[in-house]
Amino acid sequence: MFLKNTLTGRLEKFEPLEPNVVRMYVCGPTVYGLIHVGNARPMIVFDALRRYFEYRNYRVIMVQNFTDIDDKIINRANEWGVDFEEVAETFIQEYWRDASALGIRAANFTPKTSDFVPEIIDAIEQLIRKGHAYVVDGDVYFDVKSFPKYGELSHRSLDEMIAGARVEVSEKKRFALDFALWKAAKPKEPAWNSPWGKGRPGWHIECTIMSTKLLGSTLDIHAGGEDLIFPHHENEKAQSEALTGKPFVRYWLHNALVRISGDKMSKSLGNIFVLREALKKFGADGLKLYFLSKHYRSPIDFSIESLEANAKAARRVLETFKRFESKFSLIPVPKNEPWMNEQRQKFIEALDNDFNTPEAIAQIFELVGFLNRFMDESNEEGALRAYHLLRREFCPVLGLFEAGTRSEETDVDPLLRLILDVRKELRERKLYDLADSIRNRLKSLGIEVRDTREGSTYSFHGEV
């Protein structure tokens, strides 16, 4: 397999450190709000990549963190008058709801920053000892000039980095690009004891610690959105390599961004389309097709029309599967067959080429076309083979169509409102027997109708 490595800018043959094992770290969300469609892109892409490695017989050990110590979380906690943990726990729970609705498999480890504070302190002490960090008034900064390879990942010179990025300004720093490893406690902030007084970890050091503690000094893959290349990943790399003296990451993978009117869709800009809403409207498979039909390194301009088109395409595929399932029994097919092997080779060739999912998706649609044609021609053998490839190999490898009906979920509320309105009309015309019969029939479907002075309400299975 060949993957484009952000570090070298080249397509490189993928060779993990340990044969057949992939150690992979993905930067997860800062948990102070519901996740959005932009956040779903790395989730979908790297979940599919993990599944593809497994299809190719690798064992994947995947870590995805939750950033639960951060200014934005602390601000929200103060706004709401609760502890930062409560804000973080709330949105971690909500993250899991969204991830499972989207059909994303949980990583093997999902650590939180707050679980690793002692390890972070220990690492900062080592960096100070090694001359890569310095203390000023309870803050600790990484000394960028002590690490000559700084800028290697983002391919920029020090001057370009200073000019082009939002670098935190502070008089305490020796050099503009130096960044905080530890921040002295301010009032109304959570704080931990440290050799430099009470304080909390900076952002970048957490990922260095969580990744290397769980996966070892050198990771095979470090992934995330391209917004993280600088400064976050550049800083992670500097800290880790200064600490261990070993290369931190073999292959850096970055998905391009989802943009909205030219800007990155992001929680802090507030220009977001909440994932939960998108799941309701377009279904998990509609969203996955939307993202996987573009290459992960190409930017996407958020488009409702395109999402709708993908949701429709997902429904068409499911209809084809249903048609097959009602027509044929699901008998196993002999797997080693020339046409199927050709198809597999084509699929693997696409994905081996820097995870070219658009090509793989095009092949899936071509196979759906074949499946329909085979069924039209009552070619049972052909249909069985196409169905097997789609349903049991290619679609699951990309995380598609796993819960057959997910993208068909529709909101029943407008329909029930319509029925209740008709029933109201009947009652007004004193056709009580008809109105009662509607209520009884809804009841037999598990829908309880209650008539109140304000009108009729409904609930499922008698829930309140």
Ligand X SMILES: Nc1ncnc2c1ncn2[C@@H]1O[C@H](COP(=O)(O)OP(=O)(O)OP(=O)(O)O)[C@@H](O)[C@H]1O
Task: List binding-site positions for ATP.
Answer: 267
Q: What angle do CA 451, 457, 462 make, to 5 degrees?
A: 95
Nearer Cβ to ligand X (258/360): 258
* Binding piece for ligand X, criterion CB under 6 A, among 89-97, 259-267, 286-294, 419-427: 259-267
CA separation for the pair 282, 304 (Å, rounded): 9
**Which partner, Zn ion, ligand X, none, binds residue 207 by CB below 5 to 8 Å per kind?**
Zn ion
CA separation for the pair 219, 325 (Å, rounded): 43
Residue 222: enclosing H or E segment and its boundaries? strand 219-225
**Which partner, ligand X, Zn ion, none, binds residue 111 by CB below 5 to 8 Å per kind?**
none
Nearer Cβ to ligand X (271/356): 271
DSSP result, 255-270: EPPEEETTEEP-TTTT
CA separation for the pair 65, 81 (Å, rounded): 25
**Taking CB under 5 A as the criterion, which residues in 205-264 touch Zn ion?**
207
Neighbours of 347 (CB within 10 A): 22
Dihedral, 380, 385, 390, 391 alpha carbons, nearest 10: 70
CA separation for the pair 371, 369 (Å, rounded): 5
Q: How far is the CB of 9 from Zn ion (least distance, A)?
A: 21
List C-alpha distances in Å: 182 to 81, 122, 186, 198: 25, 12, 12, 10
**Which partner, Zn ion, ligand X, none, binds residue 231 by CB below 5 to 8 Å per kind?**
none
Tokens of 393: 């190999």
Phi first, then psi: what are they for 180, rounded to 5°?
-75, 130
**Which partner, ligand X, Zn ion, none, binds residue 201 by CB below 5 to 8 Å per kind?**
none
Task: Find out whether 49 and 292 touch, Cβ atoms under 8 Å.
Answer: no
Q: Site for ligand X (CB under 6 A): which residue of 27, 99, 101, 102?
A: 27
**Taking CB under 6 A as the criterion, which residues in 93-112 touch ligand X?**
none
Nearer Cβ to ligand X (257/435): 257
CA separation for the pair 393, 391 (Å, rounded): 6
Q: Site for ligand X (CB under 6 A): which residue of 30, 194, 208, 407?
A: 30
Q: Site for ligand X (CB under 6 A): which residue of 5, 14, 29, 343?
A: 29
Neighbours of 20 (CB within 10 A): 10
Tokens of 282: 């377009």
Place of tokens 């370009």: 160
* Binding piece for Zn ion, criterion CB under 5 A, among 48-56, 200-208, 315-323, 421-429: 200-208
List C-alpha distances in Å: 432 to 19, 417, 438, 454: 74, 18, 10, 18
Nearer Cβ to ligand X (268/440): 268
* Binding piece for ligand X, criterion CB under 6 A, among 121-129, 211-219, 260-268, 404-412: 260-268
Place of tokens 């059909």: 103
* Binding piece for Zn ion, criterion CB under 5 A, among 21-29, 244-252, 314-322, 367-375: 21-29
Q: Site for ligand X (CB under 6 A): which residue of 221, 258, 350, 351?
A: 258
**Which partner, ligand X, Zn ion, none, binds residue 42 by CB below 5 to 8 Å per kind?**
ligand X
Residue 229 engages ligand X in binding (rule: CB under 6 A): no
The one-letter code for the residue type at 41 is R
Q: How far is the CB of 434 from ligand X (least distance, A)?
A: 52
Neighbours of 425 (CB within 10 A): 11
Place of tokens 């056709």: 431
Residue with nearest beta carbon to ligand X: 225
Residue 202 engages ligand X in binding (rule: CB under 6 A): no
**Which partner, Zn ion, ligand X, none, binds residue 72 by CB below 5 to 8 Å per kind?**
ligand X
**Taking CB under 6 A as the criterion, which residues in 354-393 touch ligand X?**
none
User: Coil, strand, or helix at residue 250?
Assistant: strand
Residue 278 engages Zn ion in binding (rule: CB under 5 A): no
Residue 268 engages ligand X in binding (rule: CB under 6 A): yes
| Residue ranges of the binding site for Zn(2+) | 27, 207, 232, 236
**Which partner, ligand X, Zn ion, none, binds residue 20 by CB below 5 to 8 Å per kind?**
none
Residue 41 engages ligand X in binding (rule: CB under 6 A): yes
DSSP label at residue 233: I
Pick from 229, 183, 233: nearest CA to 208: 233
**Taking CB under 5 A as the criterion, which residues in 63-122 touch Zn ion?**
none
Residue 38 engages ligand X in binding (rule: CB under 6 A): yes
Residue 350 engages Zn ion in binding (rule: CB under 5 A): no
Nearer Cβ to Zn ion (22/27): 27
Q: Site for Zn ion (CB under 5 A): which residue of 3, 7, 24, 27?
A: 27
CA separation for the pair 219, 214 (Å, rounded): 10
Binding site for ligand X (CB under 6 A): 27, 29-30, 38-39, 41-42, 72, 224-225, 227-228, 255, 257-258, 264-268
